[in-house]
Structure 1
Amino acid sequence: MGTTSRPPMGWNSWDCYGTTVTEDEVLANARFMAEHLLPFGWDTVVVDIDWSDPTARSHGYNAGAPLTMDTHGRLLPDPGRFPSAADGRGFAPLAAQVHELGLRFGIHTMRGVPRLAVDRATPVPGTTATAVDIADPTNACEWNPDMVGLDHSHPGAQAYYDSTLALYASWGVDFIKADDMLWPYQAADIEAYARAIARSGRAIELSLSPGRDLSTTHEPHLREHATMWRICDDLWDRWEDVEANFARFARWAPLSGDGGWADGDMLPLGRIGLRAERGEPRDDGLTPDERVSLLTLWVIARSPLMFGGDLPTSDPGTVALLQNADVLAVHRDSRRNREVFREGPLVMWAADGHDGTAYAAVFNLGDEPLALSQDVSRVGFAASGGPEVRELWTGATFPRREVPVQSDDARGVAPGSAALDLALPPHGAVLLAGPAV
């Protein structure tokens, strides 16, 4: 279903504001993105979960919440947090303001129908059914109390999704993060949701969550119906969360591309936890080297990039990482992205670029510094000729060292080859560009 030639890039409110983000906070982040990040490809602003709950709070969900809803059981933005949504205007005024900045507007949705709609037996537009008729309470979300599943053997279930997507399209929504779709795998809902988007008449990118234990056997189905799909549970600002995604991306990166993207979740960087699900207000808990490693992995694996921190109050050094055009060119243009080596703390990735360029990412997952020499051919670089190998985060160049034929190089590079000498800090990475073989 995806149409994007590169993975989506943007901002999402979850890591900093959880369920409680306000219209003013969305617009502050949108304006910052338009001014500082749009020229680098960051173009999507997403309002995450529970925008209809007037009682939303940090650190959890509210059972029996008095969700804002229309007479057809379709959720509406809470006008207390989103004043422009008053009088049934929905997200249309906010989306218009985001569009005026040159950005796309996105929202979070949940699988199914609101419990409150079932309680009220709200009518399904275009049918004689009510929410009671189309509900499947046995397939409810395990972690959010607002919704119950849909009975897709009833035609009213598709009609309900059609009506909700028609509403979102009328607001000007460009991107939807549809949650509770992948664990367990909800094939019928994914198909019905994608069908409703197609019927809405608006080009809307579909992101599916969460990705706990997601199997690559689903890839053809996912690619047919969605733009991006999560391959992990929620990612937070802990090195163990980042490290766990190395193995997942190694499985999924070769399957990404052509408008369908494996998603390693949001980037929990910058100023996060302001009113979020986990933790108190803070600058993210990763070290500078860990931030570079996280971004390098997401870039070389061509994951969608959704920044989770509050942009206006995030550290300028963190924001500067999002403005590296050379790094983002790897994300935009590279192909055949793949893990090529993993042994102990050392992980290496390679990718093909344009015009005779190759890319490589080298990671130290260990807790100690790592000095190494690597045969340049292992990551796709030519042994000689062409420009020097360049590190894209810093701009530093690395000469290719000739290893004499008679040499017995103690660092494991074969005699007669060319080597790169690298020094990586704990949990550090380099992202390299050089002449391809």
Structure 2
Amino acid sequence: MKKLFLFFFLNLYIGAAYAQQKASLAPTPPMGWMTWNYFGDNINEKDIREMADAMVASGMVEAGYNYLMIDDGWQGGRDNRNNIIADPKKFPSGIKALADYVHSKGIKLGIYSDAALLTCAGYTASLGFEEQDAKTFASWDVDYLKYDYCHAPKDSATAVTRYTKMGEALRKSGREITFSICEWGPRKPWLWAAEAGGQLWRTTYDVRDKWKNLSNQENAEGILDILDINAELHTYAGPGRWNDADMLVVGLYGKKGPSGDLGGIGMTDAEYQSQMSLWSVMASPLIATNDVRNMNEATKRILLNKEVIAVNQDPLGKQAERKIKNDTWNVFVKPLQNGDVAVAILNRDDQAKSYSINWAELGLTGKYEVRDLWEHKTVGKGKNWKGRVQSHETKLFRLKKI
């Protein structure tokens, strides 16, 4: 009997320690920059070093964007011992040297693979080599793995098995590596991805550089399409377990490439600002994918807004709940650690509209000081707010009780 109790408590301790380790890898939503929507698979070490430099020079690292993720296209096959290798033409110095350079800038390095034989772009993937690849990534000092699901079976059971295998391999690799599960949502990863070892999981198909899918094409999601899926999943998010609404397309302006496919013609700065506001209150990872080397002032203003980022990175780790939902207005409420509340008001309509709201409608009693996080100033005090909201604009307020 004593042995049975000892076994039980030992397993309980190991389980608790594993849960704590998972949360410690991503206590707040990861922030960074990813190669995919700007470069596609046309990547090389020179461009990535330049992006690391630009992330520092632009203030992105200081603002919290501390990951640089290499997406699909880095692979060069396997060597005679079946170790995965980088393309020697694209990465002549190797990934370890690149990781050293990125780390010297105060940035963590992410890499990409797929739970099948080939990746989405047709490169070498990790099925059957999970432990070997995880150890290789660890030996390169990689900090983050995005694990895709192209060329894999559609059923949920296979996905759970394959992701769990890689999750265990990463845990045994000897290095703490944040695990991003990217099966796009059809198998409801919010129900199982954390137990498979993931710290974040994509909830939808790839984001396109557009406001809304008007064509009813499959896998052609705009900002509103992703919002309407991700907003319903707030109960599944928290420290170490995040609903990933995919990359920020801020600053792409319709660039040809992955985000420009399927009607991705670009958006207005107001719409880009809305994505930043909405992703922030939903506690989604903030992963930029524009050309950081050449950002205009509007893009910098949106991506580097520290007050908005603070809402996303709030240690309480709550994803906002959508309290009001109709064809014109969406209102989100996100509790913050210090007792403040973030409120986002989205005008989904194609015309500017006036709006008024009593905070009590959102379950917020009493009076509040209202700070507009885009205008960086107090815009009201009391039990309500009223004002003009532009088409596709999202007002983002921080409410402090008075």
Percent of matched pairs sharing the same residue: 24
Match of 2:328 among 333, 342, 345: 345
Deviation (angstroms), 1:273? 7.2
Report the CA distance shift for 1:23/1:146 in structure 2 as closer, same or farther (over 3 A). closer
Asked if 1:261 corresponds to 2:226, the answer is no
State how far apart, in whole Å, the 2-side matches of 1:244 and 1:257 are: 22
Does 2:187 align with 1:222? no
Alignment check: 8 A CA contact 1:337 1:351 kept: yes
Indicate yes or no: 2:12 matched with 1:8.
no
Counterpart for residue 59 of structure 1: none
Q: Which residue number corresponds to residue 242 of structure 1?
A: 223
Please report how far the alpha carbon of residue 68 of structure 1 lies from its aligned counterpart in structure 2 after TM superposition. Answer: 3.5
| 1:5-154 correspondence to structure 2 within 5 Å | 5-35=27-57, 36-52=59-75, 67-85=76-94, 91-113=95-117, 144-146=121-123, 150=127
Please state how far the C-alpha of 1:31 moved relative to its aligned partner: 1.3
By how many angstroms is 1:104 displaced?
0.2
Return closer, same or farther for 1:13/1:40 CA change in 2, 3 Å cut-off.
Answer: same
1-side partners of 2:85 and 2:255: how far apart?
24
Q: Is the 8 A contact 1:92 1:171 kept in 2?
A: yes
Look at both structures and tell me which one has the larger radius of gyration over its CA atoms.
1
Corresponding residue number in structure 2 for 1:194: 167
Instruction: Describe the SS at the equivalent of 1:239.
Output: coil
Q: Is the 8 A contact 1:336 1:351 kept in 2?
A: yes
User: 2:100 aligns to what SS in structure 1?
Assistant: helix
CA distance in 2, matches of 1:259, 1:284: 34
SS in structure 2 at match of 1:371: strand
Distance 2:269 2:164 in 1: 41
Aligned partners of 2:210 and 2:266 also within 8 Å: yes
Q: Which residue of 1 aligns with 2:389?
A: 424
Secondary structure at the residue paired with 2:311? helix
Q: What code does the residue aligned with 2:56 have?
A: A
Preserved CA contact (<8 Å) 2:72 2:121 = no
Preserved CA contact (<8 Å) 1:339 1:348: yes
Kindly indicate whether the alpha-carbon contact (under 8 Å) linking 1:18 and 1:275 is maintained by their aligned counterparts in 2: no
Is the aligned partner of 1:277 residue 2:258? Answer: yes
Residues 206 and 2 of structure 1: CA distance in aligned 2, closer, same or farther (over 3 Å): farther
Compute the TM-score of the two structures, normalised by the length of structure 2.
Answer: 0.83
5+ residue gaps, structure 1: 53-66, 86-90, 115-140, 151-156, 402-417
Unaligned runs of 5+ in 2: 1-21, 213-221
CA distance in 2, matches of 1:279, 1:245: 16
CA distance in 2, matches of 1:271, 1:344: 27
3-state SS, counterpart of residue 235 of structure 1: coil
User: Secondary structure at the residue paired with 1:76?
Assistant: strand
Name which of 115, 127, 131 aligns with 1:162: 131
Q: Give the Cα–Cα distance (whole angstroms) in 2 for the partners of residues 271 and 25 of structure 1.
A: 17
Counterpart code for 1:28: E
CA distance in 1, matches of 2:61, 2:153: 33
Distance of 1:312 and 1:148 partners within structure 2: 30
What letter matches 2:161 in structure 1?
A
Q: Which whole-Å deviations, capped at 9, do the CAs of 1:202-240 have from their partners, x for residues lacking one?
A: 00001011414342xx43421121011001111011001
Instruction: Quote how far apart the aligned CAs of 1:183 are.
Output: 7.5
Partner of 1:88: none
Specify the code of the residue in structure 2 equivalent to 1:19: D
Q: Secondary structure at the match of 2:86?
A: coil
Q: 1:310 aligns with which of 286, 291, 308?
A: 291
Task: Give aligned pairs, total.
Answer: 361
Post-superposition offset of 1:253: 2.2
CA contact (8 A) 1:367 1:427 kept: yes
Deviates further, 67-76 or 13-22: 67-76
Look up the match of 1:363.
Answer: 346
Preserved CA contact (<8 Å) 2:283 2:319: no
SS of residue in 2 equivalent to 1:108: strand
TM-score if structure 1 supplies the norm length? 0.77
What is the alpha-carbon distance in structure 1 between the residues aligned to residue 379 and residue 186 of structure 2?
A: 39
The aligned counterpart of 1:173 is 142
Q: What RMSD in Å do the two structures reach over aligned CA positions?
A: 2.4
SS in structure 1 of the partner of residue 208 of structure 2: coil
Tell me the SS of whatever aligns to 2:231.
Answer: helix
Shift of 1:377: 1.8
Check the 8 A contact 2:280/2:308 in 1, yes or no: yes
